[in-house]
Amino acid sequence: MKAKKTAAQRQAAREADARRYARDRKKRIAAEKAYKEKKKGDPTYEAKVKARAKVNNAIRDGKISKPNACPNCGRTMTRVEGHHTGKTGAGKMVWRCSRCNPRGAAA
Quick one: which H or E segment has residue 96? strand 93-97
CB of 101 to Zn ion, least distance (A): 7
83 strand-pairing partners: 94
Half-sphere exposure of 36 (CA within 13 A, CB side): 7
Footprint on residues 71-100 left by Zn ion (CB under 5 A)? 72-73, 97, 100
Q: How far is the CB of 52 from Zn ion (least distance, A)?
A: 19
Cα separation, 3 vs 98, whole angstroms: 32
Stretch that binds Zn ion, among 24-32, 40-48, 64-72, 81-89 (CB under 5 A): 64-72
| Subset of residues 9 to 38 that bind Zn ion, contact rule: CB under 5 A | none
Nearer to Zn ion, 51 or 97 (CB): 97
Helical (H) or strand (E) element with 34? helix 25-39
Contact residues for Zn ion (CB under 5 A)? 70, 72-73, 97, 100
